[in-house]
Each structure stands twice: as C-alpha cells, then as structure tokens.
C-alpha cells in the first residue's frame, strides 16, 4: 500500500501510524493477563441494574476467575484446544469471565444471542457443534428443545446478578423467580458458573496447573471466535475470526481515537457484547484501555440507562443509530445529559445526520461513526476526532485498504458509487464449513462487503446502501438510506424504514413505514416533506404508519421483516 493509494492517511491525527506492526499480543488470553498485571485492583467491570443495584470486579479478579474457568473447561469438562464453546448471555459480570476463560483454554468462543428462540439456537448449535454451553438461567428452559438430536455434553448456568454483592443478588433472584417468573426450572444436568470456577481453582492449585500452557500452542491465526452474521440478508453464517483479527482490529480502532487516557476512562456498554461491534470495541478495547466498563444487561426501555448515567462519570459510550435517536427523545436524558462525556461512537448501522445533529446539540459532544461487518472484526473505517465530515463513515483504519468496485471488480473513479471492498489484517479467515460462501465474498484478495459506497478525493467514504436493499424504480436506482435520512428530519416522525414493493407501472415502488411522534401526521404530509427534498421517483408511493418497527437485538431496523410482512399481506389480498 502506498500513500497515493491511501489519500486518507493525510487526515490521521498526530502520531497515528498508517501501518501497524503485527498484533501486540499472540492471543487474547495473553492480552487479558498482561492488562490485568498493569491495572490490578482497579475496577474493570461494573454491572448496573435499572434500579441502580450494582456489583464490580477488578482486573485482577477477572483474570484469576477466568484462569480458573479455563482450567475447569480443560480438566473437568475435558475440552481440548479448538473445541467450540457457546456463550449465551446478556451483558453481566459473568460475560468477561466466561469469554476470557474460553479463550485462555485455547477453545473457540461461539457467541449466541440470548433472545434466540429454541429453533434459532438449534440451527446455530447444529452448525457450530459446541462441546459446552454457558447460558444465563432466564433462557435455560430452551435447552431441551434447542439440543434435541444433538446434545451438548457440558451445560454451565449463570445468573444476570451473578457476582453482585449478596443482598442485591438475593433481591434480584427473588424478583426473577417469584415476581416476574422470568427464571424457570432447569430440566437438564448442569453446573453453576461459580461452582465451575471453584472446581477449576481446586484443580489449578492441587495439580499446580499453569493456565498459559493451554494457549502455548495457539497461534495468532487460529480461530478465536465463531461470530455469526445477523442473517439480515439470508441464513446466518459463522465468520471465523482469529486472535490476530480481533486484536489487530481493536488496536486499529484505538490507534485512530485521540483524547482517551489509559486507566482513566469510564465507558458505558449498552450494546450487547455478543455483538461483534461491542465485543471488539467495548469488551476488548475498553479492557485494553484499563477503563471501568459499566455493563447494562438490558437497555430497554431506555430509562434503564438513567441510573448508570447518574451514578458514574461516563466519558465514552458506544451505540447504534436507534439508541442515540431514542435517548434524544427521552426527557430525563435531554434535561440532564452526561456531563463528563468526551464523545460517543456509533456502529452497526448508518448514523442518520438528523440524529447526529440532535445528539451534538443536546450533549455538546460528537458521535464518531465507524463502519464494518461481522466478517471484518468489525471496523474498516472510523471518523478521526476533530476531522469529522457529516454524513460520512470516516476513513479506513490503519493497515487497511478500502475501495469501491464495479460489477467486474475494477475500482470506480473517485466520486462514483461501487461495492465497498477491503483488504486488511482484520478480514476473517472465512465462513465456518462454507467454502462456497467464502469464495463468493473473497475475490482477488478483496473482501466484498455487499454495501454500496462512494469515496471522495480525500479518502472519506459514504455509505449509499446495502446492495440487496436497493430499489429499482423505472430503471432508476433508489437507496432506502437516503429516503430514511429525509424522513428522519421531519419533526413529527420518530423513525422510519423504507423498502421496495412490486408495482405494475414502475417495476418497483418505494414504500415507507413510519412511526409518528405527532398523531395527526398524514400520508400526504409525509409525501409532501419528501417531495421538498427528493426527486420524484424517490418519493414513497405508499406510506404505512406503525406503532413500532421490527428491530434486531442491537436495535437495527430489520427491513427483511418488513419485506416479509409485505409479501404475506399481498398474498392474502
């Protein structure tokens, strides 16, 4: 890569290296242990409940407990290097212990959405073939159905309130069991996570086991995680992310971020850490920074964040567009935004300009946007602080080449749209057991993202839309993101989504799904607003008002679900 190929490096901050050497640590287990030696008894993770009840673990405690859990997996459960371990839980103190323990054991972590149905769990378990499952008790009743015909030999169960002080843990457990009845009887043989840790600690002491021995033969290019894609464009696939992929990407992002101080930051983690953005940036990145990481088990409703923002001096938070949009519509947040916030980072979906501007107006601090995919660990681009360009996704992170390609794989001229493709150390090793799918996205050394974008002369990129979400109206390409951006500026609209629907006259037509802020808003007013800002063929031909829009576990609006409901509705007609 040359400077001519990467004009964006001119916009890196002072001291930012255009190319990084190999990862600073061989494995994630090495990273965890090294950072713990540096920060010791400083608070690493604090789980904060909606009512303010909380518990904290230090870097030293997380390191020691994850060591003991690694020993349990290898010596008691009998797992071997490379065996898969499914991890299914929301943000809680058990998460870093279990995740780090799996990786220290030389095993492969398989993140599973805890909100999955038993059928969805079964599909992922059949594909990944895990040798162990660590699951929160609230969802353990799904295990019998999810493992029917393909049992998982080791089941470890934890609680959302695990490792909190005795009183709040007891109160939360009582409420879950008897009040909201969210915890049901567990009908499969299992061990509790604290008991597994205790058993591992006994083995470690009696057998004088050195945990480092488990990862001595683990190479940087060995798989650390099977991270399943969201499945928004089809059946979910397991992206094989290596130790080097994840460590390098964490370092690439941190290299571009200025103004953070090691050992002094307080970060808010509302996004679920089983999602790749939060896994790399929040779990690994904040830990590497020596930050105190405030974990939110469930950010819905958004008032669940109130006590965390009141009780801790939050300096950095990450989120998706729907989270930032939602907070700017919460009275408690607008009346008292976080006073110590330096900036917020956005990823997972396009950040709408109207949302970005409202956030800046309310908090006085910017949202810096990143872009990437599960397959890229995830970050490919990030906005340099102080050099933001509204509407863009920033510039490629160090050691990364990004280009826009035409349908023949050739780079398009600056300013023209094309499919975003990338090369870099964060690109996955491929899809688990799916060589044909891997070959379809890896072409001549490029990873094809499936997103349409534009690069300007300085190397800043702008996302146009998903290639598969594009609507063709009378031969014209229409990108839903552009129309959704326009709708977001209407003061009577909370949020909106756009899809293409069949149309006899134009082939496809634009349909908008709108959630009102003002009940009096009419379809004619929506169309008039669009007409003032968009050319005729982009104006929604149909508008449907809804109370809410379907969203993924991280708050991304699911256009595929809207398309499915539209197809079903047309079939009924």
pLDDT per residue as tens digits for the range 99-111: 999 999 999 999 9
How high is the pLDDT of residue 320? 84
| Rounded average pLDDT over 263-279 | 95
Predicted local confidence at residue 12, as pLDDT: 93
Catalogue the E-assigned strands of 139-275.
Answer: 154-158, 191-192, 223-228, 238-242, 266-269
Res. 41: pLDDT tops 60? yes
Confidence of residue 571 (pLDDT cuts 50, 70, 90): confident
Percent of the chain with pLDDT over 70: 97
For residues 20 and 248, is the Cβ–Cβ distance under 8 A? yes
Q: Is the pLDDT of residue 505 over 80?
A: no
Instruction: Give the span between the Cα atoms of 225 and 109, in whole angstroms.
Output: 5
pLDDT value at position 475?
64
Note whether 255 and 16 are within 8 A (CB). Answer: yes
Nearest residue to 86 via CA among 33, 38, 42, 151: 151
Residue 3 clears pLDDT 50, i.e. is over it: no
* Cis peptide bond prior to 301, omega within 30° of 0: yes
Model confidence at 491: pLDDT above 90: yes
What pLDDT sits at residue 178? Answer: 63
For all residues of the chain together, what is the average pLDDT? 92
pLDDT band at 231 (very low <50, low <70, confident <90, very high): very low
The residue-averaged pLDDT of 82-95 equals 98
Q: Mean pLDDT throughout 521-544?
A: 92
The pLDDT assigned to 1 comes to 39
pLDDT score for 236: 76
Q: Distances from the Cα of 169 to the Cαs of 60, 98, 141, 477, in angstroms?
A: 22, 19, 21, 55
The three-class DSSP label of residue 291 is coil
pLDDT of residue 347: 83
- Higher-pLDDT residue of 243, 532: 243
Res 184 pLDDT > 90: no
Query: How confident is the model at residue 388, as a pLDDT?
Result: 83
Q: Write out pLDDT tens, residues 440-451.
A: 999 988 999 989
Over range 131-151, report the average pLDDT.
95
Residue 195: its pLDDT value, please? 98
What is the 3-state composition of the chain as percent helix, strand, coil, each rounded to the nearest 5?
35, 25, 40
Q: DSSP character for 199? A: H
Q: Of residues 475 and 57, which shows the higher confidence score?
A: 57
- For residue 315, pLDDT over 90 is answered with yes
pLDDT digits (tens, 9 = 90+) for 434-486: 999 999 999 988 999 989 899 999 999 998 877 778 787 876 778 788 899 89
Element of type H or E holding 540: none
Preceding peptide of 378 cis, ω within 30°: yes
Q: What is the per-residue pLDDT for 463?
A: 86
- 138 HSE (CA, 13 A, CB side): 22
Alpha-carbon distance 102 to 86, whole Å? 9
Question: Going from the N-terminus, what domains does the chain have, and what CATH number goes with each?
Answer: 470-572 (3.30.300.30)
Are 407 and 477 spatial neighbours (Cβ–Cβ below 8 Å)? Answer: no
Tokens of 375: 């397959």
SS (H, E, C) 442-463: EECCEEEEEEEEEECCCCCEEE
Q: In what order do the strands lie in the sheet with 191-192?
A: 191-192, 154-158, 132-136, 84-88, 108-111, 223-228, 238-242
Give me the percent of the chain exceeding a pLDDT of 90.
73
Let me know: does 115 contact 89? Beta carbons within 8 Å: no
């Amino acid at each position: 890569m040359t400077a001519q190929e990467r004009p964006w490096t001119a916009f890196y901050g002072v001291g930012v290296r255009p190319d990084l050497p190999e990862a600073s640590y061989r494995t994630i287990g090495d990273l965890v242990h090294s950072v713990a030696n540096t920060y010791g008894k400083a608070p690493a993770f604090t789980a904060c409940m909606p009512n303010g009840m909380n518990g904290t673990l230090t870097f030293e405690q997380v390191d020691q407990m994850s060591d003991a859990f690694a020993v349990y997996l290898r010596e008691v459960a009998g797992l071997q290097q490379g065996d898969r371990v499914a991890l299914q839980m929301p943000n809680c103190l058990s998460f870093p212990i279990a995740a780090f323990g799996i990786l220290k054991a030389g095993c492969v972590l398989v993140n599973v959405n805890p909100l999955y149905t038993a059928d969805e769990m079964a599909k992922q378990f059949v594909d990944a073939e895990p040798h162990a499952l660590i699951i929160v008790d609230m969802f353990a009743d799904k295990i019998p159905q999810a493992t029917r015909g393909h049992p998982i030999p080791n089941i470890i169960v934890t609680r959302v309130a695990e490792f909190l002080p005795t009183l709040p843990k007891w109160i939360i457990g009582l409420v879950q069991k008897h009040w909201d009845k969210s915890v049901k009887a567990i009908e499969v043989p299992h061990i509790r996570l604290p008991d597994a840790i205790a058993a591992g600690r006994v083995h470690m002491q009696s057998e004088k086991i050195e945990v480092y021995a488990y990862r001595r033969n683990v190479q940087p290019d060995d798989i650390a995680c099977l991270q399943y894609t969201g499945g928004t464009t089809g059946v979910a696939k397991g992206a094989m992310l290596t130790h080097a992929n994840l460590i390098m990407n964490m370092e690439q992002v941190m290299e571009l971020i200025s103004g953070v101080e090691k050992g002094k930051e307080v970060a808010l983690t509302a996004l679920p850490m089983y999602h790749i953005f939060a896994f790399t940036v929040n779990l690994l990145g904040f830990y590497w920074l020596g930050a105190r990481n405030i974990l939110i088990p469930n950010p819905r409703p958004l008032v669940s964040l109130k006590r965390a923002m009141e009780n801790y001096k939050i300096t950095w938070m990450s989120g998706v567009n729907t989270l930032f949009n939602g907070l700017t519509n919460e009275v408690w947040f607008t009346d008292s935004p976080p006073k110590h916030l330096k900036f917020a980072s956005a990823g997972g979906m396009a950040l709408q300009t109207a949302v970005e501007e409202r956030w800046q107006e309310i908090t006085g601090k910017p949202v810096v946007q990143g872009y990437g995919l599960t397959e890229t660990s995830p970050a490919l681009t990030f906005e340099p602080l102080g050099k933001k360009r509204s509407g863009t996704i920033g510039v490629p992170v160090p050691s990364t080449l990004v280009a826009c390609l035409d349908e023949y794989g050739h780079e398009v001229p600056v300013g023209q749209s094309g499919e975003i493709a990338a090369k870099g150390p964060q690109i996955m090793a491929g899809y688990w057991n799916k060589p044909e799918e891997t070959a379809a996205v890896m072409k001549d050394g490029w990873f094809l993202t499936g997103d349409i974008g534009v690069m300007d002369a300085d190397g800043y990129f702008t996302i146009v839309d998903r290639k598969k979400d594009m609507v063709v109206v009378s031969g014209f390409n229409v990108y839903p993101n552009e129309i959704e951006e326009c709708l977001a500026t209407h003061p009577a609209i909370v949020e909106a989504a756009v899809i293409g629907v069949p149309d006899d006259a134009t082939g496809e037509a634009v349909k908008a799904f709108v959630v009102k802020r003002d009940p009096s808003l009419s379809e004619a007013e929506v169309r008039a607003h669009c007409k003032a800002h968009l050319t005729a063929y982009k104006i929604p031909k149909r508008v449907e008002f809804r109370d809410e829009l379907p969203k993924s576990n991280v708050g991304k609006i699911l256009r595929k679900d809207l398309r499915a409901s539209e197809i079903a509705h047309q079939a009924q007609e």
